[in-house]
Structures are given as C-alpha cells and as structure tokens.
Structure 1
C-alpha cells in the first residue's frame, strides 16, 4: 500500500462506519443522458461515471476555498452516497444548465453536480427518474489493461446499471483517497484512464482480501448491507 503521503481526506476505507453515520448526510448527484434512440453501452456508462466522480474531486472548485469545497467536505465527512438519475431531451438540457461538470466517454454523457443534502435536491434534478437505467453492452468489453486502474465489479451481485454506476464511482473515490498527491496528479494529468470489468469468479476472493480498497455497500438499495461490490485495483496500491 502506498505510504508516500497522507491523503488530504481521511479514507472511509480506513475508518469505522459509525463515525460517518452520525454526520449530516449528503449525496452526490450524477445524471446520465439516455436518449431513446441511442442509449450508451453499459460498460461505457460505468467507466464514465467513475471518471466523472474523479473529475469533480480533482476540480479546483471542490477543494480549499473553492465554491463547492464546503459541500464536498460535508459529503465526505458522512457516507459517500451517490445517486444516478437519467435524463433525455429537455430534461438533459435543464440539467446541463445547473452548476456541474459533464464528462463524456465513447458515447456516454454524464453530468456530475456538487453534493446536496439528502433531502435538498435541486428541483430540476429531483424530478428525474432513478429507474430505467438498465443498459447493455452490445458486445463483450475488451480485456482490461493491467497497467491501468481497474475497478473490479463483483461477479456475485446483480445490479442495475444505475446502481453499478454509483458503485464504480465509489471505487474510484476510494482509490483516489488512498493515493499520494503526486499519484493523484499523475492520474489526473493522464485523463483518469480506468476500466470497469466484472471480476472472474475465481479471482474475487483474492481481490477482496488483497488489501486493496473495497466498496462495502450500505444496503439502502438493491443489495444487502455490507455487500462487497467493487475492488479498486490501482497499480500504485498493489
């Protein structure tokens, strides 16, 4: 595990869950564009969601005295909740008009917004649907590049695309928190390359027990509490 410097933010990978449950709860909104005629591929959407989280964390507005910094600190002091909603047409245009960052993949478009209180969503986003994000890959994704970060999804848990996008974002965030400042900068400057793949069943136990950051879901939706959903396999953390 990397020990070059202490991460700026304490990682929940190394803290007791109860500490964060007691703090006021915030959520990071992500909106995926899903047009009827051209929905994105599932893996592309998962990878773009993970990059969107990293892009927000690395943005100058999210740290120091930046305009989003207080919201990001409040969110990171609690559970790192993320909610993915879908939009198309006029809904997407209204979402784009709000402060945030749009990140694109091969075909996927995802807009990430600064965190909001759990019950304090902007009206334009609160109207958007959570369901309906069931996406497919038209063909199996290529093998992951072992020299780049890989977010390994559990082969044992079935999740909707929206849920899996949030989990991929969690995994990317845990990896970010474990990196040194220099390693974060290198990842950012490279454009946050990463892959999201389902782990081979035979490798899952090794991955979850290997000391890498592991996402353990709180169990609010779709999966049971404390389910291991993602392992963040960044080369600097092996």
Structure 2
C-alpha cells in the first residue's frame, strides 16, 4: 500500500486553500525530547484521533476527516510550541499523546487536531512556527515490543518535524489497512509503535506493505520514499 502525495488532491501547495491535519509538538528547550520519541508520539496521536469516537460516523470530526482523506488527502503540518503556547493549544479539540523519554531527555508531547482548511486557523495554531523543528537524533526506541514497526529512510536528511509527519502518515495508512481484530489489539496497546532507522542495505532489501512517498514540495527534492510500516506479526509469518 503506497501513498504518493504527488497524486493526491490537497497535497499541492499551489492549491488555493488545501486541507491539512495540524500537529503540534512540545519543544521545551530546557528538556528536549528525543527525535524517536517525538516521531512515535506523532504516529500515536494521529491514529488515536482517527480511532476516537468523535471521528466515528455521527461524531463531530467525521465529516472533516472524510473531506481531508477522501482521494488521498492526508497532508499534515507539524508546528512546535512550549510554555504558555503549549498550554494554550490544549484548549482546542484534539488528541494528545505524551511519551516519556529516558534519563537526560524530556518527554515527547504531540497533539493532533481534526483536519481543516489551512486558512483560517485558530490564532493559537497559526502563530506557531513550523519549519526547522529539530530534536536530538537519539534513535533507540523504548518500544521494541510494539505491534507496529515504522521504518524511516536512511537515504535522506529530514528535519524532526517533517519526519514526525512521515511516521504519522505511515501509521495512518497501516491503520486504514488493518481489520478490526488487529485494530483492537493495537488500541489495547495504546497504539504504540516502534520507529527505527534501518541501514541502507536493510532498507533496500526489505520493502514493507505500507510505503509513504513524499511529494518533495518542501525539504526533499522530488518524490521520495520516506517511511514504511508493517504489522510486526507479519514479519514472523
């Protein structure tokens, strides 16, 4: 299952007012989270939002999610906040995931919001910075027993903010492909994922059923495969 945003309505920044899901990451310069924890928290927040009862038919988020996702519209924009600005965004409807880091690092926090047109946004979101979001590149996941494995490309240099969006894309596509018994298993585990960085040989030798191809409108030069996902039990079958 491959997602290529180059073919997806709503992914081209030349569109007048494309839809996007806004993600806000906690970036506390006094207690920075690790990149791996931010990426995992972003994946969990997005899947948690899609699985939320408010996203179900009849729920207040359902129509917005379908308007965004139908036809492949899964554009995500990652912003950063700390202090009062982080506290302020918690007042907006959404799904928050926090994930503890190891000693010496702060917790990762990501809040996902229901998709909407990019303009206008609530001021608490629109004033937050997007580009250049970077976290320490510590890549040893604490979730090696998670039921979902997400792998990110070793071939490109990608900022932490954009990488979080790519991991969230991969998690969303896998969630969409799962049957309800597997969704229930994942739900019971808090939608945990393990994000890992394979080496070049492993990346070349091990394609996965879910693949994310970024359109290359921002950091990357042209369409680029950025992330993959797989249900871990399928690796053992």
Q: TM-score, normalised by structure 2?
A: 0.86
| Closer, same or farther: CA 143–203 of 1 in aligned 2, 3 Å | farther
The secondary structure found in structure 1 opposite 2:205 is helix
| Closer, same or farther: CA 96–204 of 1 in aligned 2, 3 Å | same
Question: Equivalent residue for 2:119?
Answer: 119
How does 1:149-188 map onto structure 2 within 5 Å? 149-188=148-187
| Closer, same or farther: CA 142–16 of 1 in aligned 2, 3 Å | closer
Q: Where does the alignment leave 5 or more consecutive residues of structure 1 unmatched?
A: 1-10
Over the residues paired in the alignment, what is the CA RMSD in angstroms? Answer: 2.4
Question: Equivalent residue for 2:35?
Answer: 42
| Closer, same or farther: CA 65–178 of 1 in aligned 2, 3 Å | same
Question: Equivalent residue for 1:84?
Answer: 78
Return the offset for 1:149. 1.4
What whole-Å deviation, never above 9, does each CA across 1:55-80 have from its counterpart, x for those lacking one? 10110101201001111111111421
What whole-Å deviation, never above 9, does each CA across 1:67-123 have from its counterpart, x for those lacking one? 011111111114210111000111111111111121101111111111111333222
Matched residues, number: 224
Question: Equivalent residue for 1:222?
Answer: 219
| Closer, same or farther: CA 181–225 of 1 in aligned 2, 3 Å | farther
Distance 2:203 2:132 in 1: 29
Distance 1:44 1:161 in 2: 10
How does 1:27-66 map onto structure 2 within 5 Å? 27-66=20-59
Distance 1:49 1:16 in 2: 19
CA contact (8 A) 1:28 1:112 kept: yes
Distance 1:37 1:102 in 2: 21
| Closer, same or farther: CA 15–31 of 1 in aligned 2, 3 Å | closer
CA contact (8 A) 1:179 1:237 kept: no
CA contact (8 A) 2:6 2:223 kept: no
Q: TM-score, normalised by structure 1?
A: 0.85
Q: Where does the alignment leave 5 or more consecutive residues of structure 2 unmatched?
A: 101-106
Question: Equivalent residue for 1:8?
Answer: none
